[in-house]
Chain A
Amino acid sequence: MYRYDEFDHRFVSERVAQFRDQAARRLSGELTEDEFKPLRLMNGLYLQLHAYMLRVAIPYGTLSGKQMRKLADVADKYDRGYGHFTTRQNIQYNWIKLEETADLLQELSEVEMHAIQTSGNCIRNVTTDHWAGAAADELADPRPVAELLRQWSTLHPEFSFLPRKFKIAVTGAPNDRAAVKVHDIGLRMHQNDAGERGWEVIVGGGLGRTPLIGYTVREFLPETQLLSYLEAIMRVYNLHGRRDNKYKARIKILVHELGEENFRAEVEAEFARQKELDVEVESRELERISNYFAEPAFETLPRLSTGYEAARAGDPAFAQWVRSNIAAHRKDGYAIVNISLKPEGGIPGDATSEQMRTVADLAERFSVEEIRVSHHQNLVLPHVKLDDLHEVWKVLAANGLASANIGKAGDIIACPGLDYCTLATARSIPIAQTISRRFADLNRQHEIGPLRINISGCINACGHHHVAHIGILGLEKKGVEYYQITLGGSSATDASIGTILGPGFSGDKVPDAIETIVNTYLNLRQGGDDSFLDVVRRLGHQPFKEALYAPA
């Protein structure tokens, strides 16, 4: 894992002191709320329906046991004993006081954490594959580049007042788990025939009001040119992105209005003018960072663990959890443990301080001290020995963290919705809760197979409903909440935007509708390997429409 040196420490401390001064000037009235707003936002502080909300950055979703323990302490001391893990691999606290925020940030800085650029019209926390450094299919760990981008984008003088927010995702694996095609910029690593690595640069993807799949502006960018190329893209966007309408201000709209070829020409022309970035300094920094992400000292283990096999054979609940929550590790004898934050009837992504401490302990005992946050609002222990899995599962189960539903119907992504958010038009959390209760039977969830249900409480789409197999969008008409359903989205390698199935439903009808859709799929599928998404893509919306809207 990356560790701060004296310079990173000094930078973050100065940033905290700067925010302390800004908050004091706001509290004294020297700064107007309009002037303070972008300053607090650049430190992740929002004013929500009931209180301030603080979003803390978890750079590329990686954190240590010690950091997780600090997040738990913060939840107890400054919030109400819990936190909410987000679709951008961050954590949010919902009940923060402005007067205490600088102290909170000070405490975070002690464990090398901050809230810089978790909001505002700047380059946001860079996200990546939550299995980075552990996945069996990976070309290279994307986190050194993600850390390089974190540093490069931090208080970037030119790009801190962009037309709109800007999100970058990176993946080093051919199977995209970082949703790179639905980000402002997505970076995907490739290796050419000469064995050299380079980046495919994807631009203009995004969700929100105008969901779009990004397009490849560069097929293969040499690694050493990455920052210069990104600066060129950012500059074209900063100069020419629309500022007259915030809903048309994201880079995807600029790409759309200019056209792909014109946009590429602008970027390449700007790139050709970039002479000043010091490539040598950049490569040395990347090399320095990479040392922190050297592979942990894994033991040489057999591929099979007899203890683990025996536990699986003797404990059906454990075996079921293994089937859904364990992923293949690059090293023999190790596994990736996915911890579901989606218990039956729970709030997706929420964890209590006690649960955070449990995960911190497990990371320290069993996973080389490492934890990841996934953009599905779950946690990951990336490096667990097969021999230890049963013990890890028992501890998780004792703490309400062993839901065997990763990638299943119960693993629902939901934004905070009208329960917290000022932008929301409808509630998301209660809908997620009722659906998860409806599909409480884990055997049934496993029988249904891979299914991604995402819920957004407004058209800004924080719940990523467009890229769900079944997306649910909460809207409001004449004071009444109702929900639109989309089918066929995906944020994976073959990304697609779901399309609307038909007229919406009131909240209490949504679980029935979802159940009808799922039952229709089960009737149509050709065997257990024929997934929900496969069937929707093959047969289209028609059979689902007929089942859902047929006269009773």
Chain B
Amino acid sequence: MPLLKDNDFIDDTWQRLDDGAAIPATGDILVSLARLLADFGKLSNRDGRLGVEFPNEERPGVLESFLPDLSLIALTFPKFADGRAYSQARQLRQLGYDGELRAIGDVLPDQLSFMLETGFDAFEVTERFPEEAWEQAASSISLTYQSAAYQPRRLHVWRLRWARDEGV
């Protein structure tokens, strides 16, 4: 599946490691939460970056002590209408995580801007939609009324007003 990052389709260099599989000596690997908890010592002392696929129903707080060693966290949308991962993303960013936050599962253009605003910066997407559809979806609304976005892309209406009224 193509990986969308910074408005571009890029190659996914991460390797998904099955729970029973041997840990490769090099390369970036993405593991399950169970594997992370079981083998963290080995996983974090090797030549290559570490990522975790984090389940939908778990509390992001369980990752807190692992965050400095993680370069990728993949959050799941089992169906696009299941919005738990939006809150998980916000919580992870609140915990100070600043590595790649990847949306996987049922990721569609019409939800892209919500994902960007809550802290996702990479998207595993289907080939159904052309690149322009994603670009357009992310930019169709230029303003937001919420102030807490991670790396905001839209302009925050309340701050714009503040600037206008101050004559800035």
A binding-site residues for B, Cβ under 8 Å: 5, 7-8, 10-11, 14-15, 17-18, 21-22, 35, 38-39, 121, 151-152, 154-162, 231, 235, 238-239, 243, 273, 275-278, 281-282, 284-285, 288
Contact B142 A157 (CB under 8 A): no
Q: Specify which chain B residues have a CB less than 8 angstroms from the CB of A17 in the assembled complex.
A: 140
Query: Could you list 13 further interchain pairs (A-B, Cβ under 8 angstroms) beyond the known A18-B141, A235-B91?
Result: A5-B161, A14-B140, A17-B140, A38-B80, A152-B145, A157-B144, A158-B118, A160-B86, A238-B86, A243-B84, A275-B94, A284-B162, A288-B161
Contact B82 A7 (CB under 8 A): no
- Listed by A's residue number, 24 A-B pairs whose Cβ atoms lie within 8 Å are A7-B157, A10-B143, A11-B141, A11-B145, A14-B142, A152-B145, A154-B145, A155-B145, A157-B144, A157-B146, A157-B149, A158-B146, A159-B86, A160-B114, A161-B80, A161-B82, A161-B86, A161-B111, A238-B86, A239-B87, A273-B94, A275-B94, A277-B147, A281-B158
Nearest A residue to B165 via CB reads A288
Complexed CA–CA distance, A137 and B136 (Å): 50
Complexed CA–CA distance, A231 and B90 (Å): 11
Q: Specify which chain A residues have a CB less than 8 angstroms from the CB of B143 in the assembled complex.
A: 7, 10-11, 14
Interface core residue of B142, B143, B146 (most chain A CB under 10 Å): B146
Q: Is B117 an interface residue (CB 8 A)?
A: yes
Q: Is B62 an interface residue (CB 8 A)?
A: no
Residues 95 to 143 of chain B near chain A (Cβ within 8 Å):
108, 110-111, 113-118, 136, 140-143
Q: Is B68 an interface residue (CB 8 A)?
A: no
Contact B161 A276 (CB under 8 A): no
CB-CB under 8 A for A160 and B94, given A22-B110, A285-B161, A288-B161: no
Shortest distance in angstroms between B136's beta carbon and chain A's nearest beta carbon? 8
Nearest B residue to A276 via CB reads B148
Q: Specify which chain A residues have a CB less than 8 angstroms from the CB of B84 in the assembled complex.
A: 238-239, 243
Shortest distance in angstroms between A28's beta carbon and chain B's nearest beta carbon? 13
Shortest distance in angstroms between A302's beta carbon and chain B's nearest beta carbon? 40
Contact B146 A152 (CB under 8 A): yes
Contact B141 A157 (CB under 8 A): no
Complexed CA–CA distance, A281 and B83 (Å): 27
Q: Specify which chain B residues have a CB less than 8 angstroms from the CB of A158 in the assembled complex.
A: 83, 86-87, 90, 114, 117-118, 146
Shortest distance in angstroms between B126's beta carbon and chain A's nearest beta carbon? 12
Q: Is B159 an interface residue (CB 8 A)?
A: yes
Shortest distance in angstroms between B115's beta carbon and chain A's nearest beta carbon? 8
Contact B159 A281 (CB under 8 A): yes
Shortest distance in angstroms between B69's beta carbon and chain A's nearest beta carbon? 22
Q: Is B81 an interface residue (CB 8 A)?
A: yes
Task: Decide if the interface of chain B is mainly helix, strand, loop or mixed.
Answer: helix
Q: Is B88 an interface residue (CB 8 A)?
A: yes
CB-CB under 8 A for A7 and B160, given A14-B141, A157-B117, A158-B90: yes
Nearest A residue to B139 via CB reads A14
Contact B142 A10 (CB under 8 A): yes
Contact A11 B80 (CB under 8 A): no
Complexed CA–CA distance, A18 and B109 (Å): 12
Complexed CA–CA distance, A22 and B149 (Å): 25
Contact A157 B140 (CB under 8 A): no
Complexed CA–CA distance, A152 and B115 (Å): 17
Nearest B residue to A36 via CB reads B110
Complexed CA–CA distance, A196 and B157 (Å): 28
Q: Specify which chain A residues have a CB less than 8 angstroms from the CB of B115 in the assembled complex.
A: 157
Complexed CA–CA distance, A35 and B137 (Å): 14
Nearest B residue to A237 via CB reads B87
Contact B147 A278 (CB under 8 A): yes
Shortest distance in angstroms between A106's beta carbon and chain B's nearest beta carbon? 15
Nearest A residue to B145 via CB reads A151
Complexed CA–CA distance, A22 and B59 (Å): 34
- Our pick among A21, A154, A159, A277 for the contact of B83 (Cβ within 8 Å) is A159
Contact A162 B83 (CB under 8 A): yes
Q: Specify which chain B residues have a CB less than 8 angstroms from the CB of A38 in the assembled complex.
A: 80-81
Shortest distance in angstroms between A508's beta carbon and chain B's nearest beta carbon? 42
Shortest distance in angstroms between A3's beta carbon and chain B's nearest beta carbon? 13
Complexed CA–CA distance, A285 and B158 (Å): 6
Pairs of residues from A and B, 8 with the lowest C-beta to C-beta distance, nearest first: A161-B83, A157-B117, A157-B114, A151-B145, A18-B140, A158-B86, A238-B87, A7-B157
Shortest distance in angstroms between A246's beta carbon and chain B's nearest beta carbon? 11
Contact B88 A239 (CB under 8 A): yes
Contact B162 A281 (CB under 8 A): yes
CB-CB under 8 A for A243 and B82, given A5-B161, A160-B114, A278-B147: yes
Contact B147 A282 (CB under 8 A): yes
Nearest B residue to A14 via CB reads B141
Complexed CA–CA distance, A21 and B133 (Å): 11
Complexed CA–CA distance, A229 and B43 (Å): 39
Contact B161 A7 (CB under 8 A): yes
Nearest B residue to A7 via CB reads B157
Shortest distance in angstroms between A162's beta carbon and chain B's nearest beta carbon? 6
Q: Specify which chain A residues have a CB less than 8 angstroms from the CB of B157 in the assembled complex.
A: 7-8, 11, 151
Complexed CA–CA distance, A282 and B157 (Å): 11
Shortest distance in angstroms between A420's beta carbon and chain B's nearest beta carbon? 25
Shortest distance in angstroms between A265's beta carbon and chain B's nearest beta carbon? 14
Shortest distance in angstroms between A146's beta carbon and chain B's nearest beta carbon? 14
Complexed CA–CA distance, A22 and B133 (Å): 11
Q: Specify which chain B residues have a CB less than 8 angstroms from the CB of A235 in the assembled complex.
A: 87, 90-91
Q: Specify which chain A residues have a CB less than 8 angstroms from the CB of B147 in the assembled complex.
A: 276-278, 281-282
Shortest distance in angstroms between A132's beta carbon and chain B's nearest beta carbon? 22
- Our pick among B136, B146, B156 for the contact of A156 (Cβ within 8 Å) is B146
